[in-house]
Amino acid sequence: MSTTRRTALILALWGGATAIGLAFAAWTAVGPVLVILTRGHGVHAGDLVAFAAAYSTAAVLTHRLLARA
């Protein structure tokens, strides 16, 4: 796999992980509010779990892609 293709794949992978975390945060309200941003918006415990899961998966897949280089 070429370096350009691998780089594009890694950027898409992390962009997708971010999109999944943001979508989860926008459409759900799981768990207690940990940080209040505005009157109707805040960071819930479930948001942090969703981002942790998405970014952990992205990190493992990135490691696998770079290990094959």
Tell me the one-letter amino acid at 24: F
Ramachandran region of residue 28, left (φ > 0), alpha (ψ -120 to 50) or beta? beta
Q: Quick: pLDDT tens for 5-61.
A: 999 999 999 999 999 999 998 898 889 999 999 998 899 999 999 999 999 999 999
pLDDT at position 29 is: 87
pLDDT at position 62 is: 97
Rounded to an integer, what distance in angstroms lies between the CA atom of residue 12 and that of residue 69?
18
What angle is formed at CA 31 by the lines to CA 28 and CA 37, rounded to 5 degrees? 70
At 1, the pLDDT band (50, 70, 90 cuts) reads confident
